[in-house]
Structure 1
């Protein structure tokens, strides 16, 4: 038959494809197994090849097809051992590369088993921040043995299997790479395509970015995907996109899935988390996915199978679209008769919880106890214990609080925070200030949880649009848009907050340690080194935190990582580092002036001078909660904890029921059993779970990695060996627990992991019965905190939250104050624990009050570093936490609380003008816990030496007849001896110590 040109081309194509198919070697699959932790990986590494020597002589040779994902394996040491674990010195390597390598060694034990450890490392760094250093090749073989190696020696040793130290460290199957020839043949076979798609199930996370896995070579390019699901289950799957050319916009679309019986799973119930979803704040999430030539991108998709779906096999299409080109994948999903609850989230290993990434749970801004609904009366907005009065331009004309100096109640007497309205000032190049016409305040929302308003002010040269809101907890948010109506030059654009001196006793932030406010203060932006964009200025019962923000503000990293993702210098406020803040004082006002310096604006230019305010305090202090809530901060048997008098157990991570940092879902059954027992015996249980870093044991690790830098922060990699070997690069290694090899990765900031976090806390509350959470620093904002508080307190759960922070005033943390950094969370916190590196000995009372105690914000706290100072702590109602600090046992003070009956007493601190007891030494302070006919007086010294003091008692305020009064010091082990005093006695007070005195 004579072939025409078209037939010839077709025949040639068939021949080429046949040859290419033949060229792909059909090698036998090497066995991969776990060694069940049968060797110590430090020094030897996590991987070895098991060899069987069956030859003769003193030279064994093996060619190992290890298909390694690590780069430059020739730069890593090879260790050979015999079956007994004895290292063999006479070894030689040849042609070591990622695909294979040849090993010669002396078979010192004759025929039998030998081990080749091919990624040995040594852990350097610190215990909790290790640094795996891979050892370099060594040549220890003697020349005589090397001379025995014949050039034509054939392999006389076979590969039995490739082992990982345990299953978690295994590379099989998704990290066993295809060879270059296999990849080239596959690409040639599919020439003409701009990309290939490899469907993959949920149990085989795509992990490689630059290498095809051997598994895909063996399966070949597939045009279909099938799986099974239960009714109501979230069925995750992957579409692995392998780019044969640069791809700029990869998306996945879906058709309806239709069963053979005509039932339908609608396309709206199928989505791709890489490109679409819901942000942590409830707004739509969209993302553009690009894939460079030769790279792999996992597109994680999910089918939300309705509980009402009929059983049967459903078919439809998933279409991967990139730059106008597409690839269809047939989906065939079999839905069983079995119904699952909660979308199957009780089986997280099946990736069912990826659905949580797009959750909107608890997003509605409903009022959270103890707060009350906002009310609006003309320009006045009232909230719990506070009031905001608006000027016609939309800025605060006055802010008031109604808390007593003792912070124990709310009155009708107003404490004015401002001495004059807050306002902006635009000063042109001639020194003339802009004059405004404004539209007046227009309320755009009046809800129980949020009140919003807007205003437009216009001058000759600029227009200022104000959009603002206040929430039920006292958070005020301003978006201030400034538009140039003509070309204009300014000497300065500044923002002034005149504060009443009585509401400006203390200051914290902008590099100022918490304490007495300086009379004058000058600060400049330095975002590269300092996590500083605002401060708190206030008194105990009235104050204001302000923070200045760019319109593209992104929350920086904290806890040792600030320098790796610092603040963004605001274009407006910072003005190329011309901006800053000054504080100046006169008799009538403390003026906070945020200036931005000289600048020019062209007609149409826009600047955003956004800022936030927090009106403090948030609520009264709950002293009874403080006395009732005695924390035991350690995983221990319930009965032993109950004997201590503690009432709440805090379960840290790295233990049997909560082993993995910020991923408390793996041992949840053990956790529930423990919590059930605690509840039966009258104790509450809270767990460690926060957002800042997440364990590498998270089932979703590689699905999250597929999202680029959304969940995980970019970084230089390194750290623990597992991270280097499996995550590879572009991450920040965080906390590590050596006992259980738990290696965390730093989160990137505000992202959809917070949706997952909220759902996870809800699940733990409803299904495991947790009574709250212990937060160890916080990497999320107040939106997530409100959502967390809602789910923790739903259905009558107590929802106790305590916040711990190490002192953030250091280089790594950007020189911020922990209390200032986390103040936006304080409305929802029940107790503070500040913390490591807080010096309770050298710092003065104003530091204790502002940075440690929480009292100016409606909170109380506990001490940590070195057990704290028990005498000074009691002035603020604080002890340390059992059993955290050696030699500092709070139980003796707890006994005083109980024997005195401190619950129900009124705490009147030294900071209150109404405190009925003072001493005659200004450096020895007294706080009174007052009850009917009796009082507990705590005194503590900040004097430089031992002193004797007299008590100045206002007996009328104390409510005790002095003629019948007795003053006794009960014996408190490691605190004070038993002693009796009269009101006229001098009381000896040792340096840095004090007394607890009971007056009857």
Structure 2
């Protein structure tokens, strides 16, 4: 971005000589921005006396400049001048009187000083109000205007190029704009073609640059062969215009060579949605507003050097209105990568319409779907479909240890999932099924439809099952005649042993309540479903309708919450009851009474995720040791880590979620790490986007497609350049990186996939570190495909802060992100989690990942090292002081934990238990030896005795020893007898070796 703006700062194309008299310059870090602001005017005074007058034609884009403080400083002494009088101030100019304290010389006028309030990472830039500091004596001696010598404007300065307003944010005056408009009274709009390096930024003002250049009917640009070349067409509406569209002709050279019209595009009027569907955008422009149309030409590498000409036709309301002559001079330079290694040239806009990795191919370790009759088999699971289209039975094939696949199935349901339709009299309305029809049988996706009906209601069911265990149901209920209903419900009848735990709907992860009832409250709660299950079998389900839009998360839920499903919510009459009836744990999803008119349609859509997704990979857990910081390679190697996570706000990944600024440095670091046998992953997610993204204003031109609407504010740069209608997000003070919240599901996901592919193939990253993601499983699958392409490891770990709070809508992190779990390698769920007060069932379900085939690590305060080991978790280097995992890593290596079988305390036939209910043990077993992690949840210090099934453990008790190896900051060395009572402190435990 700095290169882009620096280029803008020296580019004078289209300006007259008079516009160059007062230059716009950058004085890098010449003053302290947080007290004086980012902009100043340099004045020169050559007069005499105690008063100078300055008339400054600053052409400001900010509103109400008269309400902002002006600070004048003596350039020689660097002292603030107190004797200042502010005359008339508006957006176009300002009238100032001040005491020239050093006589002749230079003086600085700071005209947008601010201070940051609030949290350092979520600042609120507050512009200082005007102040009166002049003495009465000085004010009383002011002569008449004509007698006051003038201080002239020498230059307009910004604190650096990134903060510069020049040239696209220097406004035209009202008079200039009115003069322009008067020349084109019969026109609906004007077109100002603009270079790609001068992003159109303002929507409510014309830049002075355009007044001096006037609207033009031609665009001329120069591109390399093979380059993804971008340009802008700036539209200024002289009256309200609607449905703006752009059509291109082919570009043709004098020698007859052509660039096809299909190679030209406009991102503002259409493209490809994040899920691969065609996207048509409606562009309306209000009178007096500016709309940038970002266009592109994918220049074929095969074309010859020549000048290619064609046309762009701009239509409004379906009628051609204006034509722009396009001239693209293709030089002889060959751009092998389309120019995407130079993103400051806006060469990546075409990525917004990418379909890369969209095909639903099977991703390892998953296996192709197989259909036999009405049963679909997938990795570790089966789904038998009933004639009505809903699951008759769902089975999993996992042992309770989660380290192996079982031979006998685990049936999750007592009977099939089904709907009930109850009339106003309380009687069941029966629908007759017309049978099931499979419409797609592919390795990655199986789809089917079914219709059930009677004379009053018809239910059309279409479903899609994917290779990872995700099932999406579209259930359309149509009234064939007027009908009054007491209820429409969906029942999910769980077997009790596979409804042991529950998470979601306001319930923290843990044991399922015996009786539970929940009601919709989308305004405050990000809740539309739950996970119910056991370690080796369960279901997550979510209730939706056809209008479902993924809400915002991580502090921003309340600004874009769930939409209440018309069907399930039914004006808040709907809800969920979970009860045990002696045969089944019944999840009764009801919607309440309603009247339907003939022809009315309701969508009772829902999704299912069958858990777990695969067995846990304990050897990956032991061998892959994260170092979560940017440090020298040798330092990390010596620490014993094997994988480096590079956060943002570092030298090689400076800006949040935009890892393209310093990619050359990143590549050099990755290469060095690989040479040392280490892997490198980078922070890059979708939720918010750095203001340093080269495409910031191109994305802003798309309205609310990429960025969420909001109240604006935040860091000063956002207020000064983005203006309004956005949500300010994370901010890094050290590098002044200010992010903006994404809108959710949009074409930036296409860019994200392309960017991750480029980083994998060209920079050599080994995966990504995700931090509370805002994208859905469609994008996650695509990311996993590009990260693992061509043999790359594609390691993904996901961090989440506890989402169970007001700002996040009281959701559970594991429930929120479960759709992503099939593609993760590790969890880091721990920020704002309490490791001391929560019970083991909470850690098992919300933190460990084990019921889903994953393993995790701890975070907040370094976690509880004793309790963590019950789940195979340590903390992560070097994140928490006093919680160094290296002593435990050493204990693992000394024992030889690789290759062991993990037998958790949740396994009923665990070969080792204690005689205290709240002192629990997990065994890591191998031939002739076992490492046993023991942790206490007792309320006080206590002791316990080991109850060992030696046969199951595979150790001869006559020859066995029980020792506690010395582990720094964990436990002293100790030997215990077979029948000893072992002391344990409150909240602590032991790591014992039996062999």
Matches within 5 A, 1:175-214: 175-214=169-208
Q: Which residue of 1 aligns with 2:4?
A: none
Q: Which residue of 2 aligns with 1:269?
A: 263
Matches within 5 A, 1:833-982: 833-982=828-977
- For 2:851 and 2:717, the matched residues in 1 are separated by 45
Indicate which of 297, 302, 323 corresponds to 1:308.
302
How big is each residue's C-alpha offset from its partner over 1:359-388, in whole Å with a ceiling of 9 and x where there is no partner?
000001000000000000001000000000
- For 1:835 and 1:296, the matched residues in 2 are separated by 46
- For 2:20 and 2:461, the matched residues in 1 are separated by 70
Query: Does the aligned pair in 2 maintain the 1:374–1:448 contact within 8 Å?
Result: yes
Indicate which of 807, 811, 831 corresponds to 2:806.
811
**1:625, CA displacement in angstroms?**
0.3
- For 1:230 and 1:385, the matched residues in 2 are separated by 52
Indicate which of 136, 147, 150 corresponds to 2:143.
150
Matches within 5 A, 1:135-534: 135-153=128-146, 156-323=150-317, 324=319, 326-534=321-529
Q: Which residue of 1 aligns with 2:629?
A: 634
- For 1:55 and 1:442, the matched residues in 2 are separated by 92
Query: Does the aligned pair in 2 maintain the 1:63–1:155 contact within 8 Å?
Result: no
- For 1:240 and 1:149, the matched residues in 2 are separated by 47
- For 1:27 and 1:353, the matched residues in 2 are separated by 33
SS at match of 2:873: coil
- For 2:333 and 2:20, the matched residues in 1 are separated by 39
Q: Which residue of 1 aligns with 2:95?
A: 102
**1:308, CA displacement in angstroms?**
1.3
Is 2:29 aligned against 1:37?
yes
How big is each residue's C-alpha offset from its partner over 1:711-737, in whole Å with a ceiling of 9 and x where there is no partner?
000000000000000000000000000
Query: Does the aligned pair in 2 maintain the 1:434–1:460 contact within 8 Å?
Result: no
Deviates more, 1:801-810 or 1:426-435: 426-435
**1:28, CA displacement in angstroms?**
5.3
Question: What number of residue pairs does the alignment pair up?
Answer: 977
What TM-score do you get using the length of structure 1 for normalisation?
0.97
Indicate which of 108, 124, 137 corresponds to 1:115.
108
**1:147, CA displacement in angstroms?**
2.3
Indicate which of 104, 109, 118 corresponds to 1:125.
118
Runs of 4+ deviating beyond 6 Å: none
SS at match of 1:685: strand
Is 2:726 aligned against 1:737?
no
How big is each residue's C-alpha offset from its partner over 1:895-941, in whole Å with a ceiling of 9 and x where there is no partner?
00000000000000000123100000010000000000000011100
Change (3 A) 1:364 1:155: farther
SS at match of 2:89: coil
Unaligned runs of 5+ in 1: 1-23
SS at match of 1:719: coil
SS at match of 2:395: strand
- For 1:654 and 1:458, the matched residues in 2 are separated by 59
Query: Does the aligned pair in 2 maintain the 1:772–1:801 contact within 8 Å?
Result: yes
SS at match of 2:117: strand
- For 1:688 and 1:775, the matched residues in 2 are separated by 6
Query: Does the aligned pair in 2 maintain the 1:583–1:593 contact within 8 Å?
Result: yes
Indicate which of 67, 85, 93 corresponds to 2:86.
93
Change (3 A) 1:155 1:356: farther
Matches within 5 A, 1:666-705: 666-705=661-700
**1:327, CA displacement in angstroms?**
1.1
**1:342, CA displacement in angstroms?**
2.2
SS at match of 1:594: strand
How big is each residue's C-alpha offset from its partner over 1:760-802, in whole Å with a ceiling of 9 and x where there is no partner?
0000000000000000011000000000000000000000000
**1:27, CA displacement in angstroms?**
5.6
- For 1:706 and 1:277, the matched residues in 2 are separated by 14
**1:311, CA displacement in angstroms?**
1.5
How big is each residue's C-alpha offset from its partner over 1:417-465, in whole Å with a ceiling of 9 and x where there is no partner?
1111100100011112111211211000000000000011112211100
Is 2:748 aligned against 1:757?
no
SS at match of 2:754: helix
SS at match of 1:835: strand
How big is each residue's C-alpha offset from its partner over 1:865-899, in whole Å with a ceiling of 9 and x where there is no partner?
00000000000000000100011100000000000
- For 2:32 and 2:830, the matched residues in 1 are separated by 36
Q: Which residue of 1 aligns with 2:6?
A: none
Query: Does the aligned pair in 2 maintain the 1:581–1:592 contact within 8 Å?
Result: yes
**1:587, CA displacement in angstroms?**
2.8
Unaligned runs of 5+ in 2: 1-15
Q: Which residue of 1 aligns with 2:60?
A: 68
- For 1:586 and 1:431, the matched residues in 2 are separated by 20
Indicate which of 37, 41, 44 corresponds to 1:49.
41
**1:561, CA displacement in angstroms?**
0.2
**1:149, CA displacement in angstroms?**
2.3
SS at match of 1:962: coil
SS at match of 1:290: coil
SS at match of 2:108: strand
How big is each residue's C-alpha offset from its partner over 1:457-495, in whole Å with a ceiling of 9 and x where there is no partner?
112211100010100000000000111000001000000
- For 1:251 and 1:337, the matched residues in 2 are separated by 32
Matches within 5 A, 1:740-819: 740-819=735-814
- For 1:909 and 1:397, the matched residues in 2 are separated by 31
Query: Does the aligned pair in 1 maintain the 2:431–2:457 contact within 8 Å?
Result: no
Q: Which residue of 2 aligns with 1:3?
A: none
Query: Does the aligned pair in 2 maintain the 1:550–1:568 contact within 8 Å?
Result: no
- For 1:439 and 1:450, the matched residues in 2 are separated by 23
Query: Does the aligned pair in 2 maintain the 1:871–1:994 contact within 8 Å?
Result: yes
Query: Does the aligned pair in 1 maintain the 2:912–2:946 contact within 8 Å?
Result: yes
- For 1:25 and 1:97, the matched residues in 2 are separated by 25
Change (3 A) 1:227 1:25: closer
Query: Does the aligned pair in 2 maintain the 1:72–1:97 contact within 8 Å?
Result: yes
SS at match of 1:249: coil
- For 2:980 and 2:397, the matched residues in 1 are separated by 38
**1:336, CA displacement in angstroms?**
1.3
SS at match of 2:606: strand
Q: Which residue of 2 aligns with 1:21?
A: none
Query: Does the aligned pair in 2 maintain the 1:393–1:457 contact within 8 Å?
Result: yes
Q: Which residue of 2 aligns with 1:579?
A: 574
**1:960, CA displacement in angstroms?**
0.3
SS at match of 1:187: helix
How big is each residue's C-alpha offset from its partner over 1:692-725, in whole Å with a ceiling of 9 and x where there is no partner?
0000000000000000000000000000000000
**1:552, CA displacement in angstroms?**
1.1
How big is each residue's C-alpha offset from its partner over 1:74-133, in whole Å with a ceiling of 9 and x where there is no partner?
000000000131000000111101001111100001100100000000111111000000
How big is each residue's C-alpha offset from its partner over 1:381-413, in whole Å with a ceiling of 9 and x where there is no partner?
000000000111110000000100000011221
What TM-score do you get using the length of structure 2 for normalisation?
0.98
Indicate which of 711, 724, 731 corresponds to 2:719.
724
**1:29, CA displacement in angstroms?**
4.0
**1:339, CA displacement in angstroms?**
1.4
- For 1:375 and 1:946, the matched residues in 2 are separated by 54
Query: Does the aligned pair in 2 maintain the 1:258–1:315 contact within 8 Å?
Result: yes
- For 2:179 and 2:18, the matched residues in 1 are separated by 13
**1:25, CA displacement in angstroms?**
12
- For 2:59 and 2:142, the matched residues in 1 are separated by 25
